[in-house]
Amino acid sequence: MRAARLIKMVLLLQARPAMTAAELARELEVSERTVTRDAQALAEAGVPVYADRGRAGGYRLIGGYRTRLTGLARSEAEVLFLSGVPGALREMGLEDAASAARLKVSAALLPSLKDAPSAAAQRFHLDAPGWWQEPETPELLPAVAEAVWDDRGIRIGYRRPDRSEVERELEPYGLVLKAGVWYLCARAADEGGFRVYRLDRFTAVAVGEDRFVREEDFDLPRFWEARAEEFARSVLRETVVVRVSPAGAARLPYATGDHGAVREALEKGEGPDEDGWLTLTLPVESQDIACGQLLGLGPELEVMEPVELRDRVADAARAMRQLYE
């Protein structure tokens, strides 16, 4: 633990002209007294750490000293490719490995490129969760992430949508963060085939000692894309026929939340008619959900079929008019 901290301290000082004890303590997550002891230990080991006294003082390396301890460990190299999603790294318990990897890369850069990491970080940032959401980190995520990295089987307790609980033995292949929700793509050891599990429904996780052999042709992005499309289509169990104005057609994807289904309906739609409106057959989850979604378009959309939904929308429109009168 201390050896890793000493290496990190050297890399920090190599990457910057000088750092105060308070800055080093914050980066290393230790006290300033520990920073002083670590600096003394480095000096005794032959690392030329110099301490400037006074209010503007701090620690620096003298004589152009450069460490050769910049080789990336496997875990550091792997998480470096995830450095654009700092929140996800923190939730999976990989923030320390990512920090060490970034420091080693920074230490290996030419002096003229020292500002490259900070320049990129100040210009690009990935914010995965959607607006108006308060994503919660699943308590068992770090354990699952560890099993994914090490290719170790897990036994889980899983809460189904109907609130019943089951146990599963899984080979965890990959994690996906979708709009602030974590999912595990895994193969059930007793059933075969790959499935998707929500991490917030895990009630227990036990990581096994044995490693499983991954299928070489498994492609996580491709698998997720196919399953996501399959899921999106599976929930659209009914269809409605609507007339929609040009303005309504532009707003329809946002009202329904399904850009793919709306785009396909627009491509197959009839019209425009003499008023410039299109007639669409639109897949929806249910009439209840469709009623609320389509009402949001107001006079830019008319429900044609089914009659029951048309009557519900008309009743809601009359009630709204009475309310505002």
Residues 117-137: tens digit of each pLDDT: 555 555 555 566 666 666 677
Handedness of CA 85, 87, 90, 95 (dihedral sign): positive
pLDDT at 30 over 70: yes
* Amino acid at the residue 49: V
pLDDT digits 0-9 by tens, 78-118: 444 455 555 555 666 666 666 666 666 666 555 655 555 55
Distance CA 231, CA 233 (A): 5
Helix (H, G, I), strand (E, B) or coil at 167: strand
Residues whose CB is less than 8 angstroms from the CB of residue 66 and which lie 6 or more positions away in sequence, other chains included:
14, 107
Q: What are the angstrom distances between the C-alpha of 285 and each of 3, 16, 239, 256, 258?
A: 57, 56, 8, 10, 11
Residues whose CB is less than 8 angstroms from the CB of residue 308 and which lie 6 or more positions away in sequence, other chains included:
287
For the whole prediction, is pTM greater than 0.85?
no
pLDDT of residue 81: 46
- Mean of all residue pLDDT scores within the chain: 80
Distance CA 133, CA 196 (A): 22
Distance CA 159, CA 129 (A): 23
For the residues 176-189, what does the mean pLDDT come to?
85
Helix (H, G, I), strand (E, B) or coil at 280: strand
The residue ranking higher by pLDDT, 248 or 11, is 248
Q: Give buried/exposed letters for 26-53 (b at 16+ CB in 10 A, else e).
A: ebbebeeebbeebbeebeeeebebeeee
pLDDT at 72 over 70: no
Residue 219 — pLDDT band, cuts 50, 70, 90?
confident
The answer to whether residues 89 and 82 touch, using CB atoms and an 8 Å cutoff, is yes
